[in-house]
């Protein structure tokens, strides 16, 4: 299906349904690069939505690695499973439920992606401190300014190092009768950091 190792699978390769978000391909590319993934790693994808981050991460870590995808929305879980099958991947497990509860029983991770969390981002970052290996990476995609502020406070309190804040603003081309125009997408702020 996707024959390349480089991240950035075009969005139209993924099955989609209304009301289940997808991390857009350019934002996903930045997030995957910030995680600094390697083969054999264990990765969480919290708030997996359509599964696009899970799939990109699974390709990066190879068949010897493992992605644990969590979402509280049944539609998201089913869509992630459908996309996993579409990309013919065997190293992703999908978990339905509240991430704050489900994370407690998971093995320790090398990298944790946090996306759509229904407002629990701060608490999930706090739990991630105990679920992340020393030297592990956390990557958080944020849209709301209030979430950005609270996450930065938590990362500072937990003494994560190498905290990086990158805001990505993407415009995509669209053909019109008159020619081609650029349409802006919502900016996304990506925070990445390393556990001491």
pLDDT tens digits, one per residue of 2-33: 888 889 999 999 999 989 989 999 999 999 99
Average pLDDT over residues 75-103: 96
Average pLDDT over residues 108-128: 90
In a domain, 166, yes or no: yes
In a domain, 6, yes or no: no
CA end-to-end span of the chain, whole Å? 38
Q: Nearest to residue 38, comparing CAs of 123, 184, 137?
A: 137
- The confidence score (pLDDT) of residue 160 equals 95
- The confidence score (pLDDT) of residue 112 equals 98
In a domain, 127, yes or no: yes
- The confidence score (pLDDT) of residue 120 equals 87
In a domain, 95, yes or no: yes
pLDDT tens digits, one per residue of 63-73: 999 999 999 99
- The confidence score (pLDDT) of residue 118 equals 67
Average pLDDT over residues 119-127: 91
- The confidence score (pLDDT) of residue 117 equals 65
Average pLDDT over residues 24-51: 96
What's the domain count of the chain? 1
Retrieve residue 127's tokens.
């739990």
CATH number at residue 104: 3.40.50.150
d(CA 170, CA 164): 19
In a domain, 5, yes or no: no
In a domain, 43, yes or no: yes
Ramachandran class of 92: left when φ > 0, alpha when ψ lies in -120 to 50, beta otherwise: beta
| Domain that includes residue 142, residue range | 11-194
**Contact, 77 vs 51, CB < 8 A?**
no
Looking at residue 50, the DSSP 8-state letter turns out to be T
In a domain, 181, yes or no: yes
Length of the chain: 196
- Residue 116: pLDDT over 80: no
In a domain, 152, yes or no: yes
pLDDT tens digits, one per residue of 142-182: 999 999 999 999 999 998 999 999 999 999 999 999 999 99
Q: Which residues pair with 183 in a beta bridge?
A: 172
Those residues whose C-beta lies under 8 Å from the C-beta of residue 124, and which sit 6 or more positions away, are: 46, 99, 100, 103, 114, 117
Sign of the four-CA dihedral 57, 189, 121, 17: negative
- The confidence score (pLDDT) of residue 196 equals 87
Retrieve residue 72's tokens.
């509280």
Q: Which residues pair with 171 in a beta bridge?
A: 184
């Amino acid at each position: 299906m996707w024959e390349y190792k480089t991240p950035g699978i075009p969005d139209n390769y993924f099955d989609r349904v209304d009301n289940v978000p997808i991390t857009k391909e350019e934002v996903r590319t930045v997030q995957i690069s910030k995680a600094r993934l390697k083969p054999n790693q264990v990765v969480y994808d919290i708030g997996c939505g359509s599964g696009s981050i899970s799939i990109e991460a699974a390709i990066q870590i190879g068949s010897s690695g493992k992605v644990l995808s969590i979402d509280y929305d049944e539609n998201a879980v089913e869509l992630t499973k459908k996309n996993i099958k579409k990309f013919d991947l065997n190293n992703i497990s999908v978990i339905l439920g509240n991430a704050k509860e489900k994370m407690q029983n998971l093995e320790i991770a090398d990298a944790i992606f946090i996306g759509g969390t229904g407002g629990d981002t701060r608490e999930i970052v706090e739990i991630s401190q105990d679920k992340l290996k020393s030297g592990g990476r956390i990557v958080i995609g944020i849209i709301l300014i209030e979430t950005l502020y609270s996450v930065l406070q938590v990362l500072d309190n937990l003494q994560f190092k190498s905290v990086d804040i990158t805001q990505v603003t993407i415009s995509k081309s669209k053909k019109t009768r008159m020619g081609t125009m650029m349409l802006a997408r919502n900016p996304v702020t990506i925070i990445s950091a390393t556990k001491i």
